[in-house]
Each structure stands twice: as C-alpha cells, then as structure tokens.
Amino acid sequence: MGDDRFHEREPFLRRVLEELEAGRLEPYEYTRRVLAINAAGSAADMAAIAGAPAPAGAAPALDAVDLALLGRARVQPRSGAVRYAALVVVFVMFAVLLGLGVWLSSRVHAAPGQSGTLRPAVVVAAPGAALSAPA
C-alpha cells in the first residue's frame, strides 16, 4: 500500500531539504525540485535534479517564522459587513427551523384515545407521597 520507491528517493529529497535549510535554495526552487524528484524515472535522474546548482542570485531561505508572518499578511481579515451577513444568515436559518418545528407540531394529530400530550411512562413522586397509577 505504501510507496515502494520512497527509499530510493529519500536520500535525494533529504539533500534538497538540507540545501533549503542552509539557505542555498528558495522555497519555490525547493518545491520544484521535490516534485521533479518524485516524478523522476531513475536514480540517475534524481541525482541530477538534487545535485543541480542553485539558480544564480538565490535569496536566503525563509525560516518557519518568516513563512508564518508572510502567510498571515496575505490573509485578509473579514470585514464587518461579512460578519454581519453571516450572523443574519444564521439567525434566519434558526428562525425558519424554529417556525417549521412549530408549524409541524401544530399539525400533528393525536392517536385515537389520546389527548395529544405526552405523558411520562414513569411517575416520580416525593418521598412519603402516595403513588397512583397514571390516568
């Protein structure tokens, strides 16, 4: 069920990861190489991809904190109008479901011989009170 070629690719993937962590590869170049190694048909192709020199002018690699800050900066916070609209939608759905429940409960008819109200199957009485059978 697992990937039978993983052990063949692992040293090349580790080499590319080490280059990324050392700052010799940009994250985009790292991703491109990992995808190329995964698609390579032979160990010679993988070695050529992993051993290729870094592109000229490679910027220093970003660490996890830098990537998190960049990711957070790209995410736009929700505006007040979007939050208000979501709250209104939820309230309307709640009101519709509540109204539907009331409408359905008013249309349910009791079976012959019953009053239409629920009666408990077990009667609970205070200590010392006399118990009587339910009517």
- Report the Cα 22 to chain-centroid distance in Å: 32
Between the ranges 7-16, 67-76, 106-115, 120-129, where is the mean pLDDT highest? 7-16
pLDDT of residue 114: 60
pLDDT of residue 125: 64
The mean per-residue pLDDT over the stretch 1-9 comes to 69
DSSP state string for 77-118: PPPHHHHHHHHHHHHHHHHHHHHHHHHHHHHPPPPTTS-SS-
Let me know: does 24 contact 62? Beta carbons within 8 Å. no
